[in-house]
Every structure is written in C-alpha cells, then in structure tokens.
A and B are shown apart, each in its own frame.
Chain A
C-alpha cells in the first residue's frame, strides 16, 4: 500500500511540473522568435518533449492506481471495482471526467512532442512559434486539471471496495472510441497552432500548407475512425438499434469532422495553387475551435446526455473561459493580421479550385446548421426558459439538403483541371459512372419495389460516388484508351495521395449506401415470446429457446437464447442478455447481433413477465455495416495519403528558399 500511496502523489506532482514546463514553452520560444535568439527558440522542442514525458508519467501513474485498485484515490473509488476485468480497469482511467481530461492533455502533449521531433526541418522561428501556441493550449488545460479536476485526489479513509464504472461504459468501445476521438479532436490543434503562427509571422506560403496537411490528415483519419467506432458502440450497446442520434455529444465530434474535411480540401488548393490562403487559415482556426467547443459541451455538463458524467459549474466556467479565450483570441488575431497575408493565384469558377471552393462552402454551411441545431436549445432555454429538443427531423431538413449538392458534385472535383476546367468534357468522361448509378437505381427498384423512391435514388448516389472515384483513376491511367502495359505503368506512377483520394471519396459512397438502405428497407418487429414460440422477421424465423442465469466477473446476467433459421438453412444461435451490476445497482441490455454478409439481425430483449413471456424486439438491418465500413475506408484512404512521399520528405525546404518554384510547379 505504501508504494501505491506514493505513485498517486508522484503523478500529481508530474502534472504540476508539466504545467510549469508548458508555461515556459508558451513564453520563451515566442520571445526567441521575436528577437531571433536561437537559444530561446531551442527551448521549445526540449520543453515539448519533457512536457510529454511528465504528462505520460502522470497518465501511467493514474493507470497504475486503477490497475492496483487503490480505492483511497477518489477517482478510482468512484469509477472502479476490484472485480472489474483488467481491460476495463485500464479503459476506466478515461471513463470519467478527470481521467478523460488527462487523456486529452496526454494526446495534446504527444502531438507537441511529435511536432518537435518531425519538425526539425521547419524554419526555427516557425517551429518555435508553433510549439509556443501548443504550449498555451497545454497550459490552459493543465491548469484546468490541476485547479478543478485533480484525478489523484485522496479520500481520508480508503473504502474497501469501489463503486464500479457505469455499466454502459464497461465495454471494449470505451477502450477504443475516446482515444481515437481525442487523437482527432486534439490533432487539429496542430493545424490551429500553425495557423496562429502564420498570423503572428504575417507570412504564409504553399510550403506552410504542405507542413500542415499531413497533421490535418492524420487528425481527420483518427476522428473519422473515432466517430465510426462511437456510432457502432452506441448501436450495439444502447439496444435501440440506432447508429446516429444527432445527440449534442455526437454533433460535438461531427462538427470538427465537417470543418476538418473542408480544411483538408482547402489546404490542397493552398499547397498546389497558393490560393485560398486566408480562408485556409480561418478554417484551421474554426476546426480546432469546434473541437474546443465540443470539449466544452461534453465536459461542462451543460447538455443532458449519456456522456455527462460531471455537472460541476466551476469546471464549466473554467472551460468556458478557455474556450472564449482561444476562439476569441485567435479570431481577433485573424481579423487583425489576415489582411497582411498576400492573396494567391487566380482561377475560373469552373476549375479544380472552384470545385474545392464549392465543397468548402457547402461543408461549412452544413457545419453551421449542425452548430445551430446543437446550440439553439441551450440559447432558447437561457433566454426564454423554454425547453426544446432538436432531433433528426431538423437535421434531415437542413443538413441533408446541404450535403446532397456536395455529394453530387464530388466526382467532378478531382477530374477538373486546375485554373480553368471543362465541365462538359468531365461529364463525358464520367458517363460510365453515371450509367453505373442509373443501373443501381433500376436494380434497387426491381429488387424492392416502387413504394420507396428515395432509397433507390440514394443507392444510385452512393454508386455514383464509388464509380466516380474509380473512373477518376482509370481516366488518369488511360485504361482501355491505350495498351495495358502503359496503363499499368501509369498506375504504378500515380502518387499514393491519388489512391487516398479514391478511397476517401469511395468510402463516402459506401456509407451513403449503408445509410439509405438501412433507413429505407429495415424491418422491425416487437412481440412477447414464451419459450418455444417463434417470431418472423424479414424471412428469418426466430425461436426463443429459453433463458438461463450466468455469472460474469462483476455482474450477473440472464441470457435469453434464440435459434434463428431461414428457409430451413443451418440454424444460428443468438444470445441477448440482461446484465445487472451489483456495485452500481444498475444494468444493461446486451443485444444479440448476427452479421449475414453486410446485413445484420439485431435482437434486443425487455423484461420477463411472471408467466415466462419475454418482450423481444428484433430488427433486420440490411447493409447496415456499410455505414461504418465506409468510414473505415475513408480513414484508410487518409492513411494511404499519409504515406505519400511528398508529404513525408521535405520538399518544402526547397520551396521556401525559392518561392517562385512553387508557383510554377505543374498541377499534379
């Protein structure tokens, strides 16, 4: 026990040291950049690396007290239990307010350390400024943790047993979803730091965009995967079979994703054409601001939500001050300094640049509608006292119509030439994709009937995106228009980012198909079954065999067993359970999910009646896995792009010495 005693205090001490270091990192490198003092600028990478070391130590210390179930630490007592499986003891570290803030800061300082390591070829003053801005963010959040959310606080007397983690969070989803999400959220802080540094510097060029893009891409990739993971977790854990609820907390992660997607695209224009500089800087600021807003909404407890495990007004106020300080400050800096930046190249409305502007306009407008839907209830209640909820119907009417033009136009974008494009020519080259989309519409109508007209159109849209993305590549390698060997050589010569783009755009198409098919064609039945009775759903016969109790490590459960058959085929066993967690005096329902190809059969159970009857809710969800597979394809596209040579090696250096070269570089 004496060893456990000191680990928590050491962790706390490491956090305070990290705070002190991040304050140093916030001030001295900036001063050095101003006075051109190499020694002061050199403080930045060292402070960033050491700061990461301290935060990592604190995080390891918290993990250690969780693993050893040291209930004298309040946080462990409130959120853990000695019988909890090891994986949930570890993931439980961030399954609470204090721990999740520590994870947030851990990832922030990890990114700062990565910038310090990989940014050696950046100009010294830029690196120093970027790391100083990162230092401001780290200081604010470390101060927040130390002042209001100390994860290492002790109890006077150590209880014998902990109160256990919220049962909904005792799932592998907690081990994966928050770290991925935070890698995304917090990863955008680098683009933000670069943007602020560019504004302080008063200088920005295409080399800047080339440094920022891989970081933005990495953050976007993690956020994409994180959101998809969260969606799947909610789908199987909450037992309603829904995969997106437009819950404010989901919106909090979705808004940075939308803005980050816009940023990813505008940075391309900036890198290749030196245009849209000011806009890209603004987007970088907005994207991270939305990440901060998301952190505020989730962490301050202003929302009624499954995620709100803390409702402490001082914390809310503290994060609000951080939020207003960073967003207000950076936007003020933008207003003051942006006019200094020089405007870039010209382009016609119909051109690759024009298409990317189109994408940006609609994505930002869509982000704004999500923002309004998320904040309007809070504002209305604050000013009028009226309580409202804004749900799916609002977003279907606002977000939906704004996304459709983007999706329809998406295959055109990559095929238009830079500066001045030929829309009719591109349309001609996309004929194959259009034919594929039309066939998909007809096929869906034939298979499912004409009752539902929107779903076939949606499937056509998805195929349009996938086929359009493929046509872009086959067009570039002149497939079938030249001999196969030439095409093959061209294919090998394509940059990895071309395949990244293909996967990104095709992934959206896959998700669109999943969304429209499951929305349009899912079936659902709810009934009471006694052992031996059957229910029918979508051609499947579902027989309730009976229930049996079972003991888990820190819960007990009643498991209902079902045998599922279709057309006399091989029977499938499905088990859905009601779990009860003694320590929390609460339970969860574990849905039974059977994946058949890309579709899923989803069975959730209610309470048992006295006569042994069980309320059973079964869904057949056609193509539902496409919703998440599409997101994974997108994230994988991001990974493929990241391995592109141009992003890894420092061509940027040369561009900086001879800026005229970048302007003249041929469009890739």
Chain B
C-alpha cells in the first residue's frame, strides 16, 4: 500500500467510528433522556401515562405517609399545583417535609406519580437547582435562607 492508500484507510476507519458514535448518540438522545417538570408543567402539558420524567418541587407539609415494607407516599408541590408520589424504598437522609426534592419515575393512569428514585441532594444552604428555578417561576422563591458563602 502506498502512503496515500494507508492514509485513506485511516481516514475511512476514523470516519466510520465517528459516524457510529454520532449515530448512537443521536439515537440515545432521542430515546433515553428524561425531562424535568414541575407539577404545574405536568398539569399543563398532558404527559402520557408511562412516560419517564423527573418531577421536582417541595415536599408538601404533612403529606408524608408511611405504609408497610418501605412503601411511602408524599406530595410534591410548587405552590400552585401538587402531585401525589408513591415510592417504595428508603428516602434519602436529606428528605424533609417543606424541602426541595426531585423524584424520577413514571405517571400512573390515575394521575399519581410512581417514583423509583428520590433525590434530595441539598443541605441547609443548597436547594436542587431545578427546584429553585421552579419556585422562582411560581413566584414563591424565598431566597436562599441563611446562606452565608462570601
């Protein structure tokens, strides 16, 4: 093979791998991403039951109920709309009523939300970014409390 042919082989191989990667990424982005919604979005958007989404907002005060075998239910609210969430498992350490939370799962036909994971990645000075945005949109954002980072 001449130098030119070898270079063409190399470029061909690189092009093939690149095309493969692009194809896989486009396919996966079309199919495998999960959108984040607030309860108000869900009410407005008419999302089909069974669609996988992330639902974020505040855990409604007094809504947490514990059943047997680790089953819990609570409501996520953004002050304008609320949604009931069902979950089986151990809630994260930072899960509290009145605090920000993100639940990932699917909508049930009865309009409640079946979560398979619940995230409460925040501490006293930090709220999940998406949840903070939801609250700002709904006009109930209270600032970041006693946040003191300089």
Give residues in A with beta carbon < 8 Å to B.
Answer: 74, 78, 153, 166, 239, 304-306, 308-312, 346-349, 357-358, 361-362, 365-366, 368-369, 372-373, 376-377, 386-391, 393-394, 397-398, 401-402, 526-528, 578, 584-589, 604-607, 609, 613, 615, 617
Q: Once the chains bind, are A586 and B124 in contact (CB under 8 Å)?
A: yes
User: Closest 9 interchain pairs by CB?
Assistant: A387-B36, A606-B90, A365-B21, A393-B32, A397-B28, A394-B32, A398-B24, A526-B70, A615-B70
Chain A CB within 8 A of B14 CB: yes
Q: Once the chains bind, are B90 and A397 in contact (CB under 8 Å)?
A: no
Partner of B28, one of A308, A347, A398: A398
Please measure, in the bound complex, the distance between the C-alpha atom of A306 and the C-alpha atom of B120, giving whole angstroms: 10
Please measure, in the bound complex, the distance between the C-alpha atom of A348 and the C-alpha atom of B35, giving whole angstroms: 47
Please measure, in the bound complex, the distance between the C-alpha atom of A305 and the C-alpha atom of B130, giving whole angstroms: 11
User: Which chain B residues border A586 with CB–CB below 8 Å?
Assistant: 93-94, 123-124
Q: Once the chains bind, are A386 and B70 in contact (CB under 8 Å)?
A: no
Chain A CB within 8 A of B44 CB: no
User: Which chain B residues border A615 with CB–CB below 8 Å?
Assistant: 69-70, 90
Partner of A584, one of B1, B10, B27, B124: B124
Q: Once the chains bind, are B93 and A349 in contact (CB under 8 Å)?
A: no
Q: Once the chains bind, are B21 and A312 in contact (CB under 8 Å)?
A: no
Chain A CB within 8 A of B149 CB: yes
Chosen A-B contacts, 15 in total, with CB atoms closer than 8 Å, are A304-B121, A305-B121, A306-B121, A358-B13, A361-B17, A368-B21, A372-B29, A388-B34, A388-B36, A389-B33, A390-B32, A394-B29, A397-B28, A398-B28, A613-B68
User: Which chain A residues border B13 with CB–CB below 8 Å?
Assistant: 349, 357-358, 361
Q: Once the chains bind, are A588 and B93 in contact (CB under 8 Å)?
A: yes
User: Which chain A residues border B133 with CB–CB below 8 Å?
Assistant: 387
- A278: shortest Cβ distance to chain B, in Å? 12
Known pairs A346-B6, A365-B17, A394-B32 / 12 extra A-B pairs, C-beta < 8 Å: A357-B10, A361-B14, A387-B35, A389-B54, A390-B34, A391-B32, A397-B28, A398-B25, A526-B89, A586-B124, A589-B93, A607-B66
Closest to B9 in A: A349
Chain A CB within 8 A of B20 CB: yes
Give residues of chain B (7-23) contacting chain A, Cβ–Cβ below 8 Å.
Answer: 9-10, 13-14, 17-18, 20-21
Please measure, in the bound complex, the distance between the C-alpha atom of A391 and the C-alpha atom of B105, giving whole angstroms: 13
- B58: shortest Cβ distance to chain A, in Å? 16
- B22: shortest Cβ distance to chain A, in Å? 9
Please measure, in the bound complex, the distance between the C-alpha atom of A368 and the C-alpha atom of B14, giving whole angstroms: 13
Please measure, in the bound complex, the distance between the C-alpha atom of A306 and the C-alpha atom of B93, giving whole angstroms: 13
User: Which chain B residues border A393 with CB–CB below 8 Å?
Assistant: 28, 32
Give residues of chain B (105-123) contacting chain A, Cβ–Cβ below 8 Å.
Answer: 121, 123
Chain A CB within 8 A of B126 CB: yes
User: Which chain A residues border B24 with CB–CB below 8 Å?
Assistant: 369, 397-398, 401-402
Chain A CB within 8 A of B91 CB: yes
Please measure, in the bound complex, the distance between the C-alpha atom of A310 and the C-alpha atom of B93, giving whole angstroms: 21
Chain A CB within 8 A of B148 CB: yes
Q: Once the chains bind, are A528 and B69 in contact (CB under 8 Å)?
A: yes
Known: A239-B90, A357-B13, A527-B70. A402 touches B21 (CB 8 A): yes
Please measure, in the bound complex, the distance between the C-alpha atom of A387 and the C-alpha atom of B132, giving whole angstroms: 13
User: Which chain B residues border A306 with CB–CB below 8 Å?
Assistant: 121
User: Which chain B residues border A358 with CB–CB below 8 Å?
Assistant: 13
Q: Once the chains bind, are A388 and B33 in contact (CB under 8 Å)?
A: yes
- A352: shortest Cβ distance to chain B, in Å? 15
Please measure, in the bound complex, the distance between the C-alpha atom of A394 and the C-alpha atom of B25, giving whole angstroms: 8
Closest to A391 in B: B34
Closest to B27 in A: A397
Q: How many A-B residue pairs have CB under 8 A?
A: 130
Please measure, in the bound complex, the distance between the C-alpha atom of A524 and the C-alpha atom of B58, giving whole angstroms: 29
User: Which chain A residues border B54 with CB–CB below 8 Å?
Assistant: 387, 389
Q: Once the chains bind, are B90 and A528 in contact (CB under 8 Å)?
A: no
Partner of B88, one of A310, A357, A368, A526: A526
Q: Once the chains bind, are A389 and B34 in contact (CB under 8 Å)?
A: yes
Please measure, in the bound complex, the distance between the C-alpha atom of A312 and the C-alpha atom of B95, giving whole angstroms: 25
Chain A CB within 8 A of B129 CB: yes
Please measure, in the bound complex, the distance between the C-alpha atom of A74 and the C-alpha atom of B34, giving whole angstroms: 39
Please measure, in the bound complex, the distance between the C-alpha atom of A304 and the C-alpha atom of B122, giving whole angstroms: 9
Please measure, in the bound complex, the distance between the C-alpha atom of A391 and the C-alpha atom of B119, giving whole angstroms: 14
Partner of B35, one of A153, A346, A388: A388
- A626: shortest Cβ distance to chain B, in Å? 25
- A78: shortest Cβ distance to chain B, in Å? 7
Known: A387-B36, A388-B34, A389-B54. A346 touches B3 (CB 8 A): yes
Please measure, in the bound complex, the distance between the C-alpha atom of A528 and the C-alpha atom of B27, giving whole angstroms: 41
Q: Once the chains bind, are B28 and A349 in contact (CB under 8 Å)?
A: no
Please measure, in the bound complex, the distance between the C-alpha atom of A402 and the C-alpha atom of B68, giving whole angstroms: 44
- B76: shortest Cβ distance to chain A, in Å? 15
Known: A387-B35, A606-B70. A369 touches B150 (CB 8 A): no
User: Which chain B residues border A357 with CB–CB below 8 Å?
Assistant: 10, 13
Most buried by B among A153, A369, A389: A389
Please measure, in the bound complex, the distance between the C-alpha atom of A394 and the C-alpha atom of B31, giving whole angstroms: 8
User: Which chain A residues border B6 with CB–CB below 8 Å?
Assistant: 346-349
User: Which chain B residues border A402 with CB–CB below 8 Å?
Assistant: 17, 20-21, 24
- A536: shortest Cβ distance to chain B, in Å? 14
User: Which chain B residues border A389 with CB–CB below 8 Å?
Assistant: 33-34, 36, 54, 104
User: Which chain B residues border A308 with CB–CB below 8 Å?
Assistant: 126
User: Which chain B residues border A527 with CB–CB below 8 Å?
Assistant: 69-70
- B130: shortest Cβ distance to chain A, in Å? 5
Most buried by B among A358, A390, A526, A615: A615
Digit string of B52-67 for contact with A (CB within 8 Å is 1, else 0)?
0010000000000010
User: Which chain A residues border B129 with CB–CB below 8 Å?
Assistant: 304
- B51: shortest Cβ distance to chain A, in Å? 13
